[in-house]
Amino acid sequence: MAPGSPAARRRAAPRLLPALLAGESKALWISDLSKVTSQPSPRADAEVLAPAPALPASVANIARAFFCLHVFAIAFALEVSVGKTNTVMALNNSNVLLPCTFTTCIGFQDLVFTWYFNLTEMIYHGKIKSKASEPFLVGRNPRVEFVGSTTGKDNNISIVLKNVEFSDAGRYTCHVKNPKEKNAQHNATIYLTVVQKMVEADNTVTLIIVCIVGGLIGLLILFMLIKRVVLFIIKKTQDGKKECLVSSSGNDNTENGLAGSKAEQKAPPKA
């Protein structure tokens, strides 16, 4: 009998049916299993939603310490100053000092400082190796002279501008960069005004005010002295009146023959 004949297929049908049924049930079981496994696990959700474990106390303290150090470094970082006032007035054809100092909490090394005119023109450029060394020149304008010092108490990087002209009036910026502070940079600005003649301040109003105030103070002192003298005279006058009243009352008692008078002191007449 040929394998593919109808009779062979009819004989094989009873054996294939259980196998097909078994295969279908296995497929259903696998499908159910995939549905079950595809659902999220409650335990997995709990692990995802659970908060992260807290850091140990030592780690938290270290983190806080680093944060405090960072804030401290920011608070005392590189600072540049041109003094209490940021304006300077100079006479034409004269020399003028442009002050500038800097401070840093951790020191400096290979520090670079630059002076700019109106933020574009570099008029002085210098470097400082360390606190123990003075700045050395890198580049400058011929009319600019360095007059500061960094080996002393103050880190002075001031300059002098010689023979100023009206065209020199403007904005001068002192810029400092410190590689030791992760290339921290800071600057300060000073404004220069050039005039032909210095105008003297008119102190007339000030003198008038001083005279008025001085006069009022003098009058007040004179009034206090007069008051004390008047009070002294009044007191002396009142004391004199009291003495007169006492003495006059004694005389009246004597004349009227009262107790203590001279009439009581006379001897009785003889019989």
Sketch out the chain's domains with CATH numbers.
78-195 (2.60.40.10)
d(CA 132, CA 266): 114
Burial class (CB in 10 A: 0-12, 13-18, 19+), 100: buried
Cα angle 138, 139, 140; round to 5: 140
| Exposure on the CB side of residue 40, measured as CA atoms within 13 A | 8
Task: Please say whether the beta carbons of 102 and 186 come within 8 A.
Answer: yes
Q: Where is 101: in which H helix or E strand? A: strand 101-103
Q: Which residues contact 118 (CB under 8 A, 6 or more apart)?
A: 170, 171
pLDDT of residue 206: 82
d(CA 131, CA 150): 6
Lowest mean pLDDT among 83-87, 128-132, 160-164, 243-247: 243-247
User: CA 123 from chain center: how many Å?
Assistant: 31
In this structure, the number of other CB atoms found within 10 A of the CB of residue 135 comes to 21
The band of 72, judged by pLDDT with boundaries at 50, 70 and 90, is very low
- The more confidently predicted of residues 101 and 2 is 101
The per-residue pLDDT for range 34-63, each reduced to its tens digit, is 443 444 444 444 444 444 455 565 655 565
pLDDT of residue 17: 41
Residue 82 scores a pLDDT above 90: yes
